[in-house]
Amino acid sequence: MIYLMSLNILLSGLFARAYGGTIHDYAHSIVQATDGGYAVAGRTWSFGAGYVDLLVLKLNSTGAIQWARTFGGDTSDVASSIIQTTDGGYAVAGYTLSFGASYGSDDFLVIKLNSSGGLQWAKTFGGTSSDGALSIVQTADGGYAVAGWTMSFGAGNDDLLVIKISSAGDLQWARTFGGTGSEVAYSIVQTTDGGCAVAGFTTTYGAGDYDFLVIKLNSSGGLEWAKTFGGTSSDGAHSIIQTADGGYAVGGLTWGFGAGNADFLVLKLSGSGDLEWARTFGGANHENLWSIVQAKDGGYAVAGRTQSFGAGSGDFFVLKLSGSGSLEWARTLGGTNLDEAQSIVQTTDEGYAVAGYTYSFGAGSYDLLVLKLGPDGSYPGCVADCSPTVNTPTPSTSSPSVGANCNPTVIDQTPTSTTPSLTTTDACAPLYVEEDLFGKGFEFRALGHGIYLYIPEQAQVSLKIYDAGGRLVQRLYEGVLTSGSHTFSPEIEGRGVYLAVLGYNGSTITTRILR
């Protein structure tokens, strides 16, 4: 399908922007703020106090930077997850080599910011080996639950680690879950009963090399149930949400099921962790799902990376599923290099905001990339649709019994904060056209594989298609058109970026087409 710009509306809510400096900069998490803008967290090599610093951006609703902050020390500090807190500020979780209980090993790092990005407090949690936080959620009591991995505590190798802290960052409890292999938590969500659900992977339990691991905890960190899901190859969960029916949706990747290589894997579970349905989505190459959100219509939106579809070696890959797991639409955005989505949220206008990183666009090397889509996944002229293969696998499941208390060291920290000046680049800028440019009722948009044009009065019209190098591909139409609706069918061979040039009433408008 071809997506063509609809010229009679101002697409101010849609944007695709890269943010960064001359070295590497990544976004790992996005949240919509109460003012309609966005807060984005990740890591930067381009700015800050040391080798790698935690990076937080606050954007307005059109993607302009309102403020940017780095936090870190002399080595590596990374933000994995950001949330807006009930006081209007932000809490960020990640991991640090610059601070903590043992020099040379990562610790959990949790930072609390005010609404302007000012540091209120920072805490590290860890032991003598590597410990890192990958997800944070605010709990009903105003505190926080944080999940990730630990090598300092637990049964062996990496264990899944969940800590509960107060609103001031004081440790209330800590639990490890795992066996003699490796267990890591990528995502945590608070449940309606006051407990938490956690998703990640296990190599100790389950059917194969790596399996999805989903754990339900009560409000005190006690284990209510644990489930594994997988096959004989590798399967890992990266994101979990509680669904409107009290169950759970879990997203990740699978090497054991699907169309080929690694595919998106989405599971729908009951409130007690029983499998209700499973779907894979992918192509012949590698797909990796990082984030899932429930849409207001009861379905699901997921985001990650595809190498099977799109423009380059990896593209943003965003899918919309129905409540029963059927594919409703699939979109890619990217360039000739690697671009990967890491986090998705549904926005108040029922569209979607997606954050990740790009090597195709921006100021240099990798940049943060934030994409705002419409409710149907549209970004006219900039995203392309595709048709991934959908399969219905039957993963094996088991119910391991895991869990132990631990006592990580808690240290108050004062990371260095800087205010970087990032370069903003439009990865694909929409065409802004005043509504009255051609008169009331004018329309110009995609219609299936064709182009739809509505003109309010008879006019001389030309419509031509050019490739990205400026070569004329096709003269679609040149002549007089009567008032009303008209459709055209471009003959475009090959995938890529094309330009549609419309001449109407003495004006010429150029917009991009992705095929």
DSSP code at position 14: -
**Which range, of 309-313, 316-320, 356-360, 435-439, averages the lowest pLDDT?**
435-439
Statement: residue 432 has pLDDT above 50: no
Statement: residue 467 has pLDDT above 90: no
Q: What is the mean pLDDT of residues 294-306?
A: 98
* More confident site: 85 or 440: 85
Reported as type and span, the H/E element at residue 391 is: strand 389-391
Q: In the predicted model, what is the mean pLDDT of the chain?
A: 89
Please report the pLDDT score of residue 434 as a whole number.
37
Please report the pLDDT score of residue 447 as a whole number.
52
Sequential DSSP letters for 335-379: -SSBEEEEEEEE-TTS-EEEEEEESSSSSSSSEEEEEEE-TTS--
| Residues in CB range of 317: below 8 A, 6 or more apart | 264, 287, 303, 304, 305, 306, 309, 310, 330, 331, 332, 341
Written as six digits, the tokens of 259 are 């169309």
Binned at pLDDT 50, 70 and 90, residue 317 comes out as very high
Q: What is the largest CA-CA distance in the chain?
A: 79
Q: What is the mean pLDDT of residues 134-151?
A: 98
Binned at pLDDT 50, 70 and 90, residue 449 comes out as low
Statement: residue 1 has pLDDT above 60: no
Tell me how far CA of residue 507 lies from CA of 70, 71, 436, 503, in angstroms. 46, 50, 13, 6
Q: Which range among 148-157, 162-171, 368-377, 491-500 has the greatest average pLDDT?
A: 162-171
Statement: residue 507 has pLDDT above 70: no
Under 8 Å between Cβ of 199 and 214: yes
Nearest-Å Rg of the Cα atoms of the chain is 24
**Which range, of 39-43, 51-55, 432-436, 472-476, averages the lowest pLDDT?**
432-436
Q: What is the pTM of this model?
A: 0.84
| Residues in CB range of 387: below 8 A, 6 or more apart | 330
User: What is the rounded distance in angstroms from the CA atom of residue 497 to the CA atom of residue 510?
Assistant: 13
Q: For 476, what's the count of Cα atoms within 13 Å in the CB-facing half-sphere?
A: 23
| Residue among 271, 296, 286 nearest 347 (CA) | 296
Q: What is the mean pLDDT of residues 329-339?
A: 93
Please report the pLDDT score of residue 510 as a whole number.
61
User: What is the rounded distance in angstroms from the CA atom of residue 141 to the CA atom of residue 29?
Assistant: 23
Reported as type and span, the H/E element at residue 469 is: none
User: What is the rounded distance in angstroms from the CA atom of residue 36 to the CA atom of residue 27?
Assistant: 19
Please report the pLDDT score of residue 495 as a whole number.
61
Q: What is the mean pLDDT of residues 418-445?
A: 67
